[in-house]
């Protein structure tokens, strides 16, 4: 829907993962910090000091080993519990400041500021946002303000790129919009990926301004209605409304690469059980039930095929009726793994996927139930039991798990440089002396 009086702000946390790691380590305030991917493989986040050293995103950890050994850079394993909790705190502060908030990602949120300009200067309000989050959460953010979400994205890009903006860019003015669009390559436009960029460059559209000035009918003919809406957004016509309620997920995947290769079926059963438990917890958080489970596993595609042959397989099965009970999916996952397990391989990754979701209480069961067909029905979904399990595991005081998840978990993801869970585990609370 087009809204001529719309006004959006995009708030984006600066170097979020690295900032979270620095927050509880004052000794690292001016130090280069990087955060590594699963199994401590590649750099997925960098502090500004790490960027200044020329460390690229995605570079393998072994390529910066000398810098780590010399103490020039400090590396951390990904601490997802810490990042998720800090993100929730930032979003809570934004919800207290703005009339409506759309959480776009773990470190970004759109705010609806429509009508706010009549009460306060928008750049001033942007600075208030920055100061509030820095004061309450200790995280630096940049704010981009514009009449459309696409322009707000570009405004935020400018706020990060040019320090003289003091972290806030307001593109309410049409002339300022066009001036910025002329400076940015078309690839920086939100929604224009690498493939679209190549096609646009072939048509002579090199900058964001040239895309904004393109004929909408021609763009729609050559691309799609989505790209034509981007053109409208670049011209200040709001086509993307704020989504305060996230759309329900259509599937949930829980998967990890193993810290060590798995050759034992018992260890693989433990890993699959652990992934099922994680996926079911997320399913209950979505207040959904699932009817289908998929299990997949594979060896490494990068290994020497002569010495370490490749194997990959997957299998799916539907339940008689949807459920969110971890016990139901653990039982099914065990049978599915039996069907695709093959001895003699060194497995590098496995995972599960829940799909075919239903809201609790709306599923219409079949006339022919498990009992009438002579089958053993699955255990009844015990919502109180699952709720209690989730509450215990989220309390930070301890963990409760199913025996099939194992105790030692030698296959678990490698996280040798993991920082404490400062805000979500009682034993990891920072001590002030």
CB proximity list for 353: less than 8 A, separation 6 or greater: 251, 252, 253, 254, 279, 293, 294, 296
| DSSP string for 118-166 | GTS-HHHHHHHHHHHHHHHH---EEEEEESSHHHHHHHHHHHHH-GGGT
Considering the segment(s) 251-405 as one domain, its CATH architecture is: 2-Layer Sandwich (3.30)
Considering the segment(s) 16-82 as one domain, its CATH architecture is: 3-Layer(aba) Sandwich (3.40)
Torsion of CA 245, 108, 44, 280, to 10 degrees: -20
SS percent in the chain: helix, strand, coil, step 5: 40, 20, 35
Strand-by-strand arrangement of the 141-146 sheet: 101-105, 108-112, 8-13, 141-146, 168-170
Q: What's the CATH fold of domain 8-13+89-234? A: Alpha-Beta Plaits (3.30.70)
The full set of domain ranges for the chain reads 8-13+89-234, 16-82, 251-405
Please report the pLDDT score of residue 374 as a whole number: 46
Phi-psi region of 297 (alpha: psi -120 to 50; beta: other; left: phi over 0): beta
Strand, coil or helix: 51 = helix
Q: Is residue 89 a contact partner of residue 47, using CB atoms and an 8 Å limit?
A: no
Please report the pLDDT score of residue 216 as a whole number: 82
Please report the pLDDT score of residue 373 as a whole number: 46
91 vs 70: CA distance, rounded Å: 37
Phi-psi region of 236 (alpha: psi -120 to 50; beta: other; left: phi over 0): left
* Residue 247 CA: distances (Å) to CA of 63, 104, 353: 40, 12, 18
Mean pLDDT in runs of 10 for the chain (433 residues)? Answer: 73 96 93 92 94 94 93 94 95 94 94 90 96 96 96 96 95 94 94 89 93 89 89 92 78 89 92 94 92 94 82 93 92 95 93 91 64 51 85 81 82 84 86 78
Please report the pLDDT score of residue 379 as a whole number: 59
Please report the pLDDT score of residue 399 as a whole number: 82
Please report the pLDDT score of residue 211 as a whole number: 94
Please report the pLDDT score of residue 278 as a whole number: 93
Element (H, E) at 321: strand 312-323
pTM: 0.80
Please report the pLDDT score of residue 410 as a whole number: 73
């Amino acid at each position: 829907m087009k809204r001529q009086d719309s006004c959006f702000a995009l708030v984006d946390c600066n170097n979020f993962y690295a900032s979270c790691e620095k927050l509880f380590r004052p000794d690292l305030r001016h130090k280069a910090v990087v955060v590594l991917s699963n199994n401590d493989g590649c750099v997925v986040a960098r502090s500004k000091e790490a960027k200044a050293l020329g460390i690229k995103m995605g570079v393998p950890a072994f390529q910066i080993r000398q810098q780590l050994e010399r103490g020039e850079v400090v590396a951390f394993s990904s601490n997802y519990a810490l990042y998720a909790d800090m993100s929730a705190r930032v979003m809570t502060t934004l919800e207290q400041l703005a009339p409506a908030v759309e959480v776009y990602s773990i470190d970004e949120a759109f705010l609806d500021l429509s009508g706010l300009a009549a009460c306060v200067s928008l750049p001033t309000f942007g600075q208030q946002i920055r100061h509030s989050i820095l004061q309450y959460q200790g995280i630096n953010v940049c704010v981009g303000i514009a009449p459309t979400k696409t322009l707000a994205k570009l405004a935020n890009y400018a706020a990060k790129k040019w320090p003289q903006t003091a972290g806030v860019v307001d593109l309410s003015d049409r002339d300022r919009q066009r001036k910025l669009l002329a400076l940015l390559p078309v690839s920086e436009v939100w929604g224009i990926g690498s493939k679209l960029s190549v096609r646009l460059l072939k048509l002579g559209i090199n900058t964001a301004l040239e895309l904004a000035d393109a004929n909408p009918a021609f763009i729609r003919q050559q691309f799609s209605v989505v790209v034509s809406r981007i053109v409208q957004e670049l011209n200040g016509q709001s086509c993307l409304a704020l989504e305060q309620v996230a759309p329900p997920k259509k599937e949930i995947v829980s998967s990890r690469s193993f810290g060590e290769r798995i050759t034992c079926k018992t260890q693989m059963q433990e890993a699959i059980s652990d992934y099922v438990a994680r996926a079911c917890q997320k399913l209950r958080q979505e207040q959904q039930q699932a009817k289908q489970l998929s299990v997949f596993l594979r060896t490494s595609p990068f290994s020497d095929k002569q010495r370490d042959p490749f194997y990959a397989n997957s299998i799916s099965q539907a339940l008689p009726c949807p459920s969110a009970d971890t016990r139901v999916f653990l039982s099914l996952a065990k049978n599915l793994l039996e069907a695709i397990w093959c001895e003699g391989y060194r497995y590098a990754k496995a995972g599960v996927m829940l799909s075919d979701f239903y809201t609790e209480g709306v599923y219409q069961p079949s006339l022919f139930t498990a009992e009438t067909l002579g089958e053993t029905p699955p255990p009844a979904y015990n919502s109180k039991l699952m709720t209690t399990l989730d509450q215990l595991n989220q309390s930070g005081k301890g963990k409760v798990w199913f025996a099939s998840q194992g105790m030692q978990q030698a296959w678990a993801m490698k996280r040798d440089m993991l920082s404490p869970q400062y805000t979500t585990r009682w034993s990891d609370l920072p001590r002030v002396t």
